[in-house]
Amino acid sequence: MTSTTHLRLLTTFEHSQDANQQVVSLANDEDPLTLKDNIETIERIELNFPHFTDGRAYSQAYLLRRRLGFKGDLRARGDVLIDQLVQMERTGFSSAVLKEGVDPSDAQRQFERFLAFYQSDVVTETPVLHRRALEPLK
Amino acid sequence: MYQYTEFDRAFVRSRAAQFRDQIERWQSGKLSEDDFRPLRLQNGWYVQRHAPMLRVAVPYGELSSAQLRVLARVAREYDEPEAEAYRLASEAQRKLGTVHLPTHYAHFTTRTNVQFNWISLSKAADVMDLLASVNMHGIQTSGNCIRNISCDERAGVAPDEVTDPRPFAEIMRQWTTLHPEFAFLPRKFKIAMTGATEDRAATDWHDVGLHLLRNDTGELGFRVSVGGGMGRTPVIGTVMREFLPWNQIMNYIEAVVRVYNQFGRRDNKYKARIKILVKAEGQRYIDEVEDEFRQIVEHDGGPHTIPQAELDRVSASFLPPALPKRLDHATSADALAKLKAQAALHPQFERWLQRNVALHKDPSLRIVTLSFKRLLQAPGDASADQLDLVAGLSDRFSAGEARVTHTQNLALPWVHADDLFPLWEAARDAGLASANVHLLTDMIACPGGDFCALANARSIPVAEAVTQLYQDLDELNDIGEIDLHISGCINSCGHHHSGHIGILGVDKDGKEWYQVTLGGSDGSATSGAAQAGKVIGPSFSAHEVSEVIDAVLSTYLSIRQSIGSRQERFIETVRRVGLDPFKSAANDVRKSEERVA
């Protein structure tokens, strides 16, 4: 990860306190591109994981950030597994609501594991494979 | 072979550490069984009929001798059931008729991976660390993600090759590895690639099938087909692009997978593969993908366009190995005369030369297939000792490299023609020189009901019965080239749909029955365009299967015609006369009163 600020992790209580924003919630079978016309005015978009193995919201997040240039808070809700926090961050999520009883240190540890990834993503625009091609091999 | 950089090595180690963390959280109860399952699957860990199963990725089928030795060590030291589990497993299988369940084995799969059947989950993290020591892992060998990419087993050595597909397969391996957006697709996603004119990778049967080719102006690109797959709805891939410039391939596949991720069905796992989406939506799916591809390139800036410098960097790993200088020139009249003399003295060697040795793009070299289809061992099974032995053979004869083939054998890609005789002697002594490549007994078979939790019936005993029945090489050669594919259930891991003869295990009232199909094709030149075989009537009992095969083959032998100087192949006869004569011959075999509808 090139950025040092990570996805903001919230408890359900913190999330419930976090209500004073212009929020849009999208079901994971809705087309995110329909938000195109008012994307500038939205402060937060919440995307849902009905089950953690349903990966549609990752594509929604990518499209909102890359395709529509959404600058606000992009929040993961639902069945958020700590093993997917890094993936969420890489596809453009900026916050995630953790399930009850999750050990925050277990969650934090997930961000420290991989130094970098092969592909480009919303956080890192140049894929490792390009950078390596441009730099001499060590 | 691809040379791992420090980045690649660190990545595999990090993945092993992450999996260790997940196992520990599962063991301590922090991670539920249900949450752990998809995570262990994406590291290659299943829980099967009697024990866990590990699937190790072998990217594009390439193995170094060092990797073979580590696989041998895993088989020897870790592929060992706990005594009680083994007792229960043996008891359960004995009821079906299996007298012995092998342990300490590795198994080669049709997607050129390696599986182990008895490693305890408590040793999983240690095994992953051991594999990581030779750059191996189980990343994305299971689960609803982009799986290991399979390739032509003769990549980089085949005389009929347009270009070596391995550098592209490696770049694609990197792109697919822990892709953040595509780890939880509706269903599994498999890519196969070839750079040759002959398709040895069953590409049209894959979710994405790629053929490297040159267009009229000599530029390199891919023919891209999407939506092939087996299972209960066999479908041949639809060609989406006849020619896509090579450097756009990742951008294009990104579009293919993104549209699938959004619109593929998730309500029914039997309708969740991309083939169903492509079939249901047809042109609409293609239009969506083309539109998304344009957006990726024009709006997103084509982030995964492959730079020439990166292709060059990766390609440098796949240069032919430096082989020792030889005094003999294999192409010289002397060397060929010597081979002929040896063949005349050793008829078995001569047969092996004809069946198991293929031409190489370097005229002094050959590609040799070590056959893992022989009596007493299941198709594609290799013992720890055999793996060590093959490691030695590949060091001595093949620049330290072997390839797992789609048909569950190993190929040695760099054998000097002068070494063929000593290699044959060593392979023969090890029981790996059956001269049966592409013949009836070189069948594809899944582990079936002896190991797999999904299987409806056992596959290994069917393979064994056929192997026993057809030991005579004259008879096998007379029958000629034929693809016999055996699956223990409709998931089709044994590729029964693409077999000239396909055998499918079905379950009826707890008994094993087998459906027989004829006329399938994997898309190779001898088999014709990829297609699914057709069922020849109600299922047969386990005892009848080998008799049915015998009846079908006798029919073929009696009605085949000559084509020029050769006999029509089995598949050619089936195409010419249709199923009826075979159906009636098979029907005569039926003895059982009780029938499956």
Chain B residues lying within 8 Å of A83, measured CB to CB? 18, 22, 39
> Mean pLDDT, to the nearest integer, of A59-85?
96
Q: Is the pLDDT of residue A53 over 70?
A: yes
> In chain B, what residues touch A54 (CB-CB under 8 Å)?
184, 266
Taking an 8 Å cut-off on Cβ atoms, the answer to whether A113 and B144 are in contact is no
Residue B289 Rama label (left phi>0; alpha psi -120 to 50; beta): alpha
DSSP B152-175: -TTTTT-TTBSS-SHHHHHHHHHH
Residue B241, domain CATH = 3.30.413.10
Residues B453-475: tens digit of each pLDDT: 999 999 999 999 999 999 999 99
Half-sphere exposure (Cβ direction) of B3: Cα atoms closer than 13 Å: 11
Would A133 be classed as within a structural domain? Answer: no
Residues B108 and B35 in one domain: yes
| Residue B148 DSSP symbol | P
- State whether B471 and B352 are in the same domain: no
Q: Average pLDDT in the B551-577 region?
A: 97
Residue B510 has pLDDT above 50, yes or no: yes
Rounded Cα distance between B77 and B465, Å, is 31
Q: Is residue B327 part of a domain?
A: no
Q: Are residues B307 and B378 in the same domain?
A: no
Q: Is residue B143 part of a domain?
A: no
Residue closest to B406 by CA, chosen among B194, B574, B144, B157: B194
Chain centre to alpha carbon of residue B258: 26
Alpha-carbon distances of B204 from B258, B381, B400, B521, rounded to whole Å: 21, 26, 31, 10
Q: What is residue B593's predicted lDDT score, i.e. its pLDDT?
A: 53
| DSSP state at residue B48 | -
Tell me, yes or no, whether B526 lies in a domain.
yes
Which of the listed residues B429, B458, B475 is the one where a domain comes to its end?
Answer: B429
Say if A118 falls within a structural domain: no
Do residues B50 and B119 share a domain? yes
Question: Best mutation site among A7, A26, A31, A53 for testing chain B: the one with the most B CBs within 10 Å?
Answer: A53
CATH at residue B26: 3.90.480
* Residue corresponding to tokens 């592409």: B438
The alpha carbons of chain B give a radius of gyration, in whole angstroms, of: 24
pLDDT at A135 over 70: no
CB of B445 closer than 8 Å to CB of B494: yes
pLDDT average, residue stretch B252-259: 98
Q: Which two tokens stand for residue B444?
A: 């594809």
Rounded-to-integer distance, Cα B272 and Cα B253, Å: 18
Q: Which residues of B touch A67 (CB under 8 A)?
A: 295, 299-300
pLDDT of amino acid B595: 56
Assess whether B453 and B545 both reside in one domain: yes
Question: Residue holding tokens 């301590």?
Answer: B28
> Are residues B538 and B460 both part of a single domain?
yes
> At residue A3, does pLDDT exceed 80?
no
A54 vs B184: CB contact, 8 Å cut-off?
yes
* Residue B371 phi, psi dihedral angles, 5° rounding: -85, 125
> B425 and B525, same structural domain?
no
| Residue A126: per-residue pLDDT | 73
- Rounded to an integer, the average pLDDT of B505-513 is 91
Residue B26: the pLDDT is 94
Does residue A135 sit at the B interface (CB-CB below 8 Å)? no
Q: How far apart are the C-alpha atoms of A62 and B418, rounded to whole Å?
A: 57
Q: Which of B116, B112, B110 is nearest to B128 (CA)?
A: B116
Mean pLDDT of the region B178-188: 97
pLDDT band of B234, cuts 50, 70, 90: very high
Whether B137 maps to a domain, the answer reads no
Give the structural domain span for A71: 8-113
Asked if B204 contacts B225 with a C-beta cutoff of 8 angstroms, the reply is yes
Residues of chain B with a CB closer than 8 angstroms to some CB in chain A: 5-7, 10-11, 14, 17-18, 21-22, 25, 30, 35, 38-39, 144, 171, 174-175, 177-185, 258, 261-262, 266, 295, 299-300, 303-304, 306-307, 309-310, 312-313
pLDDT band at A127 (very low <50, low <70, confident <90, very high): confident
- Provide the domain count of chain A: 1
- Same-domain status, B308 and B163: yes
**What is the per-residue DSSP string for B540-590?**
EEGGGHHHHHHHHHHHHHHH--EETTEEPPHHHHHHHH-SHHHHHHHHTT-
pLDDT score of A1: 38
Give the chain B residue nearest A100 (alpha carbons): B30
User: Residue B370 is part of a domain; what is its CATH number?
Assistant: 3.90.480.20
| Minimal CA separation from A104 to chain B, in Å | 12
Please tell me whether residues B337 and B300 are part of one structural domain: no
Of the residues B104, B132, B160, which one is the last residue of a structural domain?
Answer: B132
Q: At A105, which CATH number?
A: 3.20.20.70
Residues B407 and B265 placed together within one structural domain of the fold: no
Cα(B177)–Cα(A66) distance, integer angstroms: 21
Over residues A44-63, mean pLDDT: 97
Judge contact between B455 and B488, C-beta under 8 A. yes
Q: Does residue A121 lie in a domain region?
A: no
Determine the pLDDT at residue A137. 45
Number of domains in chain B: 4
Distance CA A56, CA A35 (A): 17
Alpha-carbon torsion angle A126, B261, B242, B62, nearest 10: 70
| Short-list B492, B498, B541, CA closest to B522 | B498
Q: Is the pLDDT of residue B236 over 80?
A: yes
* More confidently predicted of B332 and B75: B75
pLDDT the model gives residue A5: 61
CB B304 within 8 A of CB A121: no
Whether A120 has its CB under 8 Å from any CB of chain B: the answer is: yes
Q: With bands split at pLDDT 50, 70 and 90, how would you rate the model's confidence at B338?
A: confident
User: Exposed/middle/buried for B567, CB within 10 Å: 0-12, 13-18, 19+?
Assistant: middle
Asked whether residue B241 falls in the same domain as residue B288, the answer is yes
Dihedral sign for Cα atoms in the order B417, B421, B422, B423: positive
Q: Indicate the burial class of B215 (C-beta count within 10 angstroms; 0-12, 13-18, 19 or more).
A: exposed
Is the residue at A130 inside a domain? no
Residue B385 lies in domain:
333-429
The chain-wide mean pLDDT, for chain B, equals: 95
Q: Is residue A81 part of a domain?
A: yes
Q: Measured between CB atoms, does A19 come within 8 Å of chain B?
A: no
Nearest CB partner across the interface for B310, out of A103, A113, A130: A130
Residue A83 is assigned to a structural domain of this protein: yes
Contact present, B153 and B238 (Cβ < 8 Å):
no
DSSP alpha helix (H) spans, B373-459: 384-397, 420-429
* Residue B198 buriedness (CB in 10 A; 0-12 / 13-18 / 19+): middle
Largest CA distance in chain B: 71
d(CA B159, CA B365) in angstroms, rounded, equals: 11
pLDDT exceeds 90 at position B1:
no
B150: amino acid identity, one letter: S
A135 domain residue, yes or no = no
Residue A133 contacts B, CB cutoff 8 Å: yes
In a domain, A39, yes or no: yes
Are residues B199 and B306 located together in one domain of the fold? yes
